[in-house]
Amino acid sequence: MKFVKKYKVQIIVGVICLILLLLAFFAVYRMFYPSNSKSVYGNRLENAPEIDNAVIEKIKNEILDTDLVATVNYNTSVATMKFSIEVEADTKIKEAEQLGQIILDNLSTKIVEFYDIEVYVTNPSGENEEYPLIGYHSKNAEEFSWVDNVVDGDEDEE
């Protein structure tokens, strides 16, 4: 007891410093290791309409049924639907552009108004120099925008 009475002020200051040090450590820890309960993408996907796998399979099958296409792959990244399509060697660019309309026709208005859609069309045979063909549909657009014969930046155009 004598010790406590003799060093009362120092003990109070020490306890206060210890509490402040613990609070500072906790604050720094929370800053570097935030809670994982939040979504990685923030609230961008809040109220996002669900994309049914049956609809995606229907789109893939309709695209494959055109006899212009060899393979169709699909994935979603945040709020972007991505289709990768390999067309047959004799497929014309105008025919390939119609594949985007098949996608839009099969998706609900809610999905089209929420998600951006990218279509990457390639011709693996390499016979048609107009490929690759890239289509982009913004959620605010009414139709696809297409770019063909994408050239690398280091190639010279004649």
Q: What is the pLDDT of residues 56-85, one digit of tens each?
A: 899 899 888 888 888 899 998 888 899 999
Best-predicted range by mean pLDDT (108-117, 124-133, 142-151)? 108-117
- Same structural domain for residues 28 and 97? no
- Same structural domain for residues 20 and 79? no
Q: Is residue 68 part of a domain?
A: yes
Q: Please report the pLDDT score of residue 40 as a whole number.
A: 62
Mean pLDDT of the 131-156 span: 77
- Same structural domain for residues 12 and 58? no
SS3 133: strand
Of the given ranges (116-120, 141-145, 148-152, 154-158), which has the lowest mean pLDDT? 154-158
What does the block give as tokens for 151? 């050239």
Domain containing 15 equals 2-32
